[in-house]
Protein backbone atom coordinates (compact mmCIF):
# COMPACT_ATOMS: atom_id res chain seq x y z
CA UNK A 1 0.00 0.00 0.00
CA UNK A 2 2.82 2.38 0.85
CA UNK A 3 4.45 1.68 -2.52
CA UNK A 4 1.20 2.56 -4.32
CA UNK A 5 0.91 5.82 -2.39
CA UNK A 6 4.55 6.70 -3.14
CA UNK A 7 4.06 5.94 -6.84
CA UNK A 8 0.90 8.09 -6.83
CA UNK A 9 2.72 11.07 -5.34
CA UNK A 10 5.75 10.70 -7.64
CA UNK A 11 3.60 10.64 -10.78
CA UNK A 12 1.32 13.41 -9.48
CA UNK A 13 4.36 15.55 -8.63
CA UNK A 14 5.76 14.97 -12.14
CA UNK A 15 2.51 16.16 -13.73
CA UNK A 16 2.23 19.10 -11.31
CA UNK A 17 5.80 20.24 -11.99
CA UNK A 18 5.48 19.96 -15.78
CA UNK A 19 2.12 21.76 -15.85
CA UNK A 20 3.25 24.47 -13.43
CA UNK A 21 6.39 25.22 -15.44
CA UNK A 22 4.58 25.20 -18.79
CA UNK A 23 1.66 27.19 -17.42
CA UNK A 24 3.90 29.79 -15.80
CA UNK A 25 5.99 30.22 -18.95
CA UNK A 26 2.79 30.72 -20.96
CA UNK A 27 1.41 33.29 -18.50
CA UNK A 28 4.58 35.40 -18.50
CA UNK A 29 4.88 35.06 -22.30
CA UNK A 30 8.39 33.69 -22.07
CA UNK A 31 9.95 34.16 -25.56
CA UNK A 32 10.80 30.50 -26.20
CA UNK A 33 7.28 29.46 -25.18
CA UNK A 34 5.71 32.10 -27.40
CA UNK A 35 7.91 31.05 -30.31
CA UNK A 36 6.86 27.44 -29.78
CA UNK A 37 3.16 28.31 -29.68
CA UNK A 38 3.53 30.43 -32.82
CA UNK A 39 5.28 27.50 -34.54
CA UNK A 40 2.27 25.34 -33.68
CA UNK A 41 -0.06 27.96 -35.14
CA UNK A 42 -1.61 29.25 -31.93
CA UNK A 43 -2.38 32.97 -31.41
CA UNK A 44 -0.69 34.94 -28.62
CA UNK A 45 -3.84 35.20 -26.48
CA UNK A 46 -4.04 31.40 -26.32
CA UNK A 47 -1.02 31.32 -24.01
CA UNK A 48 -2.96 33.18 -21.31
CA UNK A 49 -5.87 30.75 -21.46
CA UNK A 50 -3.60 27.72 -21.53
CA UNK A 51 -1.31 29.02 -18.80
CA UNK A 52 -4.00 29.92 -16.30
CA UNK A 53 -5.90 26.68 -16.97
CA UNK A 54 -2.75 24.65 -16.26
CA UNK A 55 -1.94 26.49 -13.03
CA UNK A 56 -5.54 26.23 -11.78
CA UNK A 57 -5.55 22.54 -12.70
CA UNK A 58 -2.38 21.96 -10.67
CA UNK A 59 -3.92 23.64 -7.63
CA UNK A 60 -7.05 21.50 -7.93
CA UNK A 61 -4.98 18.36 -8.39
CA UNK A 62 -2.95 18.99 -5.23
CA UNK A 63 -5.48 20.37 -2.73
CA UNK A 64 -7.32 17.92 -0.49
CA UNK A 65 -10.92 17.00 -1.22
CA UNK A 66 -12.51 18.67 -4.28
CA UNK A 67 -12.84 15.20 -5.81
CA UNK A 68 -15.21 16.23 -8.59
CA UNK A 69 -12.91 19.07 -9.65
CA UNK A 70 -9.97 16.66 -9.67
CA UNK A 71 -11.79 14.56 -12.29
CA UNK A 72 -12.07 17.67 -14.45
CA UNK A 73 -8.40 18.52 -13.89
CA UNK A 74 -7.34 15.04 -15.00
CA UNK A 75 -9.57 15.27 -18.07
CA UNK A 76 -8.35 18.75 -18.94
CA UNK A 77 -4.71 17.76 -18.58
CA UNK A 78 -5.30 14.68 -20.71
CA UNK A 79 -6.88 16.74 -23.48
CA UNK A 80 -4.10 19.35 -23.25
CA UNK A 81 -1.32 16.77 -23.41
CA UNK A 82 -2.84 14.83 -26.32
CA UNK A 83 -3.47 18.13 -28.13
CA UNK A 84 0.15 19.17 -27.60
CA UNK A 85 1.42 15.91 -29.04
CA UNK A 86 -0.95 16.13 -32.00
CA UNK A 87 -0.04 19.79 -32.65
CA UNK A 88 3.66 18.95 -32.70
CA UNK A 89 3.02 16.01 -35.02
CA UNK A 90 0.98 18.13 -37.44
CA UNK A 91 3.63 20.86 -37.38
CA UNK A 92 6.24 18.42 -38.63
CA UNK A 93 8.20 18.14 -35.39
CA UNK A 94 8.78 14.41 -35.81
CA UNK A 95 9.86 12.49 -32.72
CA UNK A 96 9.48 15.58 -30.49
CA UNK A 97 5.73 15.07 -30.91
CA UNK A 98 6.03 12.01 -28.69
CA UNK A 99 7.60 13.91 -25.77
CA UNK A 100 4.28 15.03 -24.21
CA UNK A 101 3.22 11.39 -24.07
CA UNK A 102 5.69 10.85 -21.21
CA UNK A 103 3.65 13.29 -19.14
CA UNK A 104 0.46 11.59 -20.37
CA UNK A 105 1.79 8.27 -19.02
CA UNK A 106 2.52 9.93 -15.66
CA UNK A 107 -0.97 11.47 -15.68
CA UNK A 108 -2.57 8.09 -16.37
CA UNK A 109 -0.51 6.46 -13.61
CA UNK A 110 -1.47 9.23 -11.18
CA UNK A 111 -5.13 8.78 -12.08
CA UNK A 112 -5.05 5.00 -11.68
CA UNK A 113 -3.06 5.08 -8.42
CA UNK A 114 -5.25 7.68 -6.65
CA UNK A 115 -6.17 6.97 -3.02
CA UNK A 116 -9.85 6.13 -2.58
CA UNK A 117 -10.58 9.51 -0.96
CA UNK A 118 -9.54 11.13 -4.27
CA UNK A 119 -11.82 8.98 -6.46
CA UNK A 120 -15.15 10.60 -7.27
CA UNK A 121 -17.35 7.49 -7.35
CA UNK A 122 -15.89 6.16 -4.09
CA UNK A 123 -15.99 9.43 -2.19
CA UNK A 124 -18.82 10.71 -0.04
CA UNK A 125 -19.37 13.58 -2.50
CA UNK A 126 -20.99 11.11 -4.89
CA UNK A 127 -23.67 10.09 -2.42
CA UNK A 128 -27.14 10.93 -3.65
CA UNK A 129 -30.26 11.55 -1.60
CA UNK A 130 -32.23 8.97 -3.58
CA UNK A 131 -30.54 5.77 -2.48
CA UNK A 132 -32.24 2.41 -2.62
CA UNK A 133 -33.41 2.67 0.99
CA UNK A 134 -35.08 6.06 0.39
CA UNK A 135 -37.19 4.88 -2.54
CA UNK A 136 -40.55 3.61 -1.25
Give pairs for 53-61: CB < 8 Å, separation 24+.
53/23, 53/80, 54/19, 54/20, 54/22, 54/23, 54/26, 54/80, 55/19, 55/20, 55/23, 55/24, 55/27, 57/19, 58/16, 58/19, 58/20, 58/23, 61/12, 61/15, 61/16
Residues 21, 25: Cα–Cα separation, whole Å: 6
Predicted confidence (pLDDT) per residue in 72-82, tens digit: 999 999 999 99
What are the extents of the domains in the chain?
Answer: 2-115
The reported pTM is 0.84
Least confident of 30-34, 111-115, 120-124, 128-132: 128-132
pLDDT at 124 over 60: no
Residue 117 has pLDDT above 80, yes or no: no
Lowest mean pLDDT among 5-9, 120-124, 132-136: 132-136
Do you know the residue count of the chain? 136
Higher pLDDT, 67 or 135: 67
**pLDDT (0 to 100) of residue 42:** 96
Amino acid sequence: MKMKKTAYWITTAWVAIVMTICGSLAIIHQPAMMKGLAHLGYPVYFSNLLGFAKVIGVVVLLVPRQVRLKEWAYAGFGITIISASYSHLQSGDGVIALEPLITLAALAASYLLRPTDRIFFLSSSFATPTTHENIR
